[in-house]
Amino acid sequence: MTAPQATTSAPRKRPAPKIREDLPAPNTPEGELFHYTPHEAAQWTPFSGRKLMEMIRLREIEYVFNGRDNYLTGRQIAALNEHFVVKPFSKPARAA
């Protein structure tokens, strides 16, 4: 008599997030109040959609919650980009 073999299943793959086509850019008047999913907003930020979702979960960034899903508005995307901009260093003028 042999021992029963353990069955292994393939790892479950999540479906790719759906990204709508023809999205307005966040810095345009139409995109300013448009609601983008984190994966849609990722194309205009230095972060991936997964990282944006994690930042939302940890409440590190502002977001819109509609009772079921999390979104970022164009204004929030612009503010996020502005927050992470590294400004060049300039030496202060020497007092004479």
The letter for the amino acid at 24 is P
The pTM (predicted TM-score) of the whole model is 0.75
Question: CA 75 to CA 81: how far, in whole Å?
Answer: 10
> Does pLDDT of 20 surpass 80?
yes
The 10s digit of each residue's pLDDT in 45-56 is: 999 999 999 999
7 pLDDT tier (thresholds 50, 70, 90): confident
- The backbone torsions φ and ψ at residue 81, rounded to the nearest 5 degrees and listed phi first, read -65, -40
- Predicted pLDDT of residue 2: 76
Question: CA 95 to CA 91: how far, in whole Å?
Answer: 12
> Does pLDDT of 4 surpass 80?
no
- Regarding predicted confidence, which is higher, 35 or 11? 35
The 10s digit of each residue's pLDDT in 53-87 is: 999 999 999 999 999 999 999 999 999 999 988 88
Spell 48-84 as b/e; 16+ CB within 10 A means b.
ebeebbebbeeeebebeeeeeeebbbbebbbebeeee
- The three-class DSSP label of residue 13 is coil
